[in-house]
Chains A and B, each alone.
Chain A
Amino acid sequence: MASTLINVPKHARRGDVIEIRALTSHIMEPGYRRTAAGEIVPRDIITSFSCRYNGSEIFRADLFPAISANPYLSFFTTASESGTFTFEWIGDNGLSQTASAAITVE
């Protein structure tokens, strides 16, 4: 099961600097560990995260095996217009997960 927790302020004044936080459930298996039988546990990580604000990309991050499980990302942007933030996580084994959050800018 995969789930995400997004924190975007519901309301902001135009020009405000707002913090956006995104937490997602993922094991982030680095691919370096071995089982008791000596076999490598295959890598299973999120490789890319992006955030779009009304369609235009405002934040992107590449993720690597050293990042801990359930990655939590926090970043800032300027509230310019009402609309939607869309979030996308892409990763190994065909992972592609999206979430969105709305904001009203006055």
Chain B
Amino acid sequence: MRGIGSIVAVLLLVSARAGEIPQDQRRSGYAFMAPDTQAMQDDDTSNPGMLWVLDGQALWTNRTGAANKACADCHGDATASMKGVAARYPAFETALGRPVDLEQRINLCRTAHQQAGALDHESHDLLALTAYVAHQSRGMPIAPASDPQLAPFLARGRELFVQRQGQLNLACANCHDDNWERHLAGSAITQGQPTGYPMYRLEWQTLGSLQRRLRGCMTGIRAQAFNYGSPELVELELYLMSRAAGMPTETPAVRP
């Protein structure tokens, strides 16, 4: 018990800074990576995330569902129609009365317009389509929708971000706002900026969504992770995107 007590004491002591990160000090996870990993992301022929982008490009024109429609039949050329779209998600969905993220939007399109089944969370095809759409925003600043209907959801996302939870009793903010210049067991803590999702994580050996990353963090602090697609995760995504407003989109990013 004394051991745990001293760990908690250290955690309290290192909480040197508190509050939000000043605009000019915001940094993408890219800035925390080793040069080798940065080089891997920078070159499209060594960035494994591009394999999903290529598959997504093929899926974009693939007719499916009872309506026998492809994404391209409504949205045309993704390089024009999807430019900047991922940079402003999650967006408010009137029919549901709540915000949806890009993966949920793709699945809504599938069920409503293609009359096909929704794709599973973290399935290859959903990640590939999301990566292809988000890739069209690469280099563009994250520009959260200014829809006033999003305000209460954004506020809840912020609450979740600063809410201590789990057996370690940590909030997202305790690491990613207060201690991002430090290390945890040799790994950079980073600011948790969602600039490159879906992203290829070397630890995962695959592409993954922001929701997967958030769930991983929650398991790390020994909290019960929210379910995929839950409103709480979308609210957190919404807050994170507003927190990163103006930072360039990197999809598909590579992270260690």
The interface of chain A, by Cβ under 8 A from chain B, is 1, 3-7, 21, 23-25, 28, 68-70, 72
Contacts and interface: CB of A to CB of B under 8 A. Distances in A.
Contacts of A24: 51
Contact of B124 (A1, A23, A28): A1
Nearest to B55: A1
A5 B45 contact: yes
B45 A23 contact: yes
Contacts of A25: 48, 51, 55
Contacts of A69: 205-206
22 contacts: A1-B58, A1-B124, A1-B128, A3-B51, A3-B54, A3-B55, A4-B51, A5-B50, A7-B45, A7-B46, A21-B45, A23-B50, A23-B51, A25-B48, A25-B51, A25-B55, A28-B205, A68-B202, A69-B206, A70-B48, A70-B51, A70-B206
A24 B43 CA distance: 15
A36 to B, nearest CB: 16
Given A1-B128, A70-B205, 20 more contacts: A1-B55, A1-B124, A4-B51, A5-B44, A5-B46, A5-B50, A5-B54, A6-B45, A7-B43, A7-B46, A21-B46, A23-B50, A23-B51, A24-B51, A68-B205, A69-B205, A70-B48, A70-B51, A70-B206, A72-B46
A27 B206 CA distance: 8
The 10 closest A-B pairs by CB, nearest first: A7-B45, A69-B205, A25-B51, A70-B48, A5-B45, A3-B54, A1-B55, A3-B51, A68-B205, A21-B45
B206 A5 contact: no
B58 to A, nearest CB: 7
Contacts of B124: 1
B48 A72 contact: yes
Contacts of B44: 5
B120 to A, nearest CB: 16
Interface string B45-86: 110101100110010000000000000000000000000000
Contacts of B206: 69-70
A23 B55 contact: no
B180 to A, nearest CB: 28
Given A1-B124, A69-B205, A69-B206, A23 B48 contact: yes
Best-buried of B45, B54, B124, B205 by chain A (most CB within 10 Å) = B45
